[in-house]
């Protein structure tokens, strides 16, 4: 059973699930109470004399540094770019702060920097400021990265968890669980018939396409730690609605399904790095799906559920034989240091 009170911080406090949200609610939110944090968005949307920017930050501690389909450098750019995109902003400027462990091979550092450079070019962001710190051998783990990002909200869109309402359709932009399973197979030395590659990818192009095509978006959430289940629970709780999803409609690759079965994991809780849920009103659902599917990374996008007005902000999952159960937020820690 998960214990609600802890004297010390556990790995699970950084897992994106219940304990992390408890920590935020008990220590962080009450200390820094303001209207930006209250929205529980992926970034802060700030109005500066009529122009709106999105501002966000994220730290990257993934282990191993390189994995099938990506590396810490790619994650550090795409993760922050994606949080800006979730606010409806075009990502523009990024900071790069590194905490390097003494002894890290220069070649490894160069490879990570090269990867950051490539990811920045793909997403059209500039690395405009940064910091470099080195800690003693044994006091870090190769390299940790923090990036903060600023994006510009160019159109009068209002994308926010609080906008989610009764009747909204929930769209996912592709199959779930690949990032978590890719990391786990490398770390645990598991060999499957075919290598599972991370879904690590930028979402900004897809979001910009939706906005440029005037698709009415109520809310966006990128699915990272805690997987689809935790992302949906965050939105249900922030918008005070019930979300009902149909398990049979969620795209999952055979490789991920098989690996999850062997390890006893539920793919709905496994981490992603290039997946998002899009909340749209019925009037704009077809158009949204068509625009999303134009992206190579989102060919298997699908409608997976619906929002219902309710007094209880819960997520329900309906399985293949029609049985409905509660899909709770991740409790405990499935796999630490995943991003």
Taking CB under 5 A as the criterion, which residues in 58-117 touch Mg ion? 83
Does residue 10 contact residue 19 with C-beta atoms inside 8 Å? yes
Taking CB under 5 A as the criterion, which residues in 201-240 touch Mg ion? 222
Nearer to Mg ion, 100 or 271 (CB): 271
Nearer to Mg ion, 185 or 334 (CB): 334
In the complex, least distance from residue 235 CB atom to Mg ion, rounded to whole angstroms? 11
Closest CA to 88 of 171, 147, 172, 160: 160
Taking CB under 5 A as the criterion, which residues in 1-60 touch Mg ion? 42
In the complex, least distance from residue 79 CB atom to Mg ion, rounded to whole angstroms? 8
In the complex, least distance from residue 199 CB atom to Mg ion, rounded to whole angstroms? 14
- Name the residue number minimizing CB distance to Mg ion: 42
Nearer to Mg ion, 83 or 284 (CB): 83
Full DSSP string of 121-189: HHHT-EEEEEEEEEE-TTSS-SEEEEEEEEEEE-S-----GGG--TT-EEEE-S--SHHHHHHHHHHTT
Q: Residue count at the site for Mg ion (CB under 5 A)? A: 3
Nearer to Mg ion, 42 or 244 (CB): 42
Q: Which residue has the tokens 């995943």?
A: 338
Q: Which residues of 146-155 are buried (b: 16+ CB within 10 A; e: fewer)?
A: bbbbbbebee
Does residue 41 contact residue 56 with C-beta atoms inside 8 Å? no
In the complex, least distance from residue 70 CB atom to Mg ion, rounded to whole angstroms? 17
255 belongs to the binding site for Mg ion (CB under 5 A): no
Nearer to Mg ion, 83 or 199 (CB): 83
CA-CA-CA-CA dihedral for 297, 303, 309, 313, to nearest 10: -50
What does the alpha-carbon distance between residue 300 and residue 291 come to, in Å, rounded to a whole number?
A: 12
Six-digit token pair at 9? 């911080």
Six-digit token pair at 328? 């709770």
In the complex, least distance from residue 294 CB atom to Mg ion, rounded to whole angstroms? 23
CA distances in angstroms from 222 to 128, 200, 266, 271, 278, listed in the order given:
24, 11, 18, 10, 9
In the complex, least distance from residue 246 CB atom to Mg ion, rounded to whole angstroms? 24
Nearer to Mg ion, 185 or 298 (CB): 298
Nearer to Mg ion, 14 or 140 (CB): 14
Closest CA to 171 of 255, 288, 82, 259: 288
In the complex, least distance from residue 192 CB atom to Mg ion, rounded to whole angstroms? 28
Q: Which residues are at the interface with Mg ion (CB under 5 A)?
A: 42, 83, 222
């Amino acid at each position: 059973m998960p214990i609600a009170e802890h004297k010390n911080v556990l790995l699970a406090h950084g897992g994106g699930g219940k304990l992390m949200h408890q920590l935020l609610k008990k220590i962080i939110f009450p200390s820094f109470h303001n209207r930006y944090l209250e929205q529980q968005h992926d970034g802060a949307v700030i109005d500066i004399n009529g122009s709106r920017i999105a501002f966000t930050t994220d730290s990257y501690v993934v282990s191993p540094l390189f994995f099938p389909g990506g590396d810490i450098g790619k994650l550090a750019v795409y993760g922050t770019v994606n949080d800006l995109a979730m606010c409806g902003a075009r990502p523009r400027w990024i900071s790069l702060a590194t905490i390097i462990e003494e002894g890290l091979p220069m070649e490894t550092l160069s490879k990570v920097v090269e990867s950051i450079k490539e990811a920045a070019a793909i997403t059209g962001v500039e690395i405009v400021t940064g910091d470099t710190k080195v800690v003693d051998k044994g006091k870090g783990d190769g390299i940790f990265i923090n990036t903060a990002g600023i994006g510009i909200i160019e159109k009068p869109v209002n994308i926010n968890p609080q906008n989610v309402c009764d009747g909204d359709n929930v769209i996912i932009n592709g199959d779930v669980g690949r990032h978590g399973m890719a990391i786990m197979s490398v770390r645990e030395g598991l060999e499957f018939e075919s290598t599972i590659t991370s879904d690590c990818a930028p979402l900004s192009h897809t979001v910009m396409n939706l906005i440029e095509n005037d698709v009415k978006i109520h809310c966006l959430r990128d699915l990272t730690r805690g997987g689809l289940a935790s992302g949906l629970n965050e939105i249900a709780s922030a918008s005070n609605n019930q979300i009902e999803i149909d398990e049979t409609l969620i795209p999952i690759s055979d490789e991920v399904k098989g690996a999850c079965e062997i390890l006893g994991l539920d793919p709905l809780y496994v981490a992603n790095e290039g997946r998002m849920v899009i909340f749209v009103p019925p009037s704009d659902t077809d158009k949204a799906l068509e625009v999303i599917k134009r992206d190579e990374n989102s060919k298997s996008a699908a409608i997976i559920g619906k929002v219902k007005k309710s007094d209880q902000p819960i997520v329900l999952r309906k399985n293949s034989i029609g049985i409905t159960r509660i899909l709770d937020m991740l409790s405990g820690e499935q796999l630490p240091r995943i991003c």
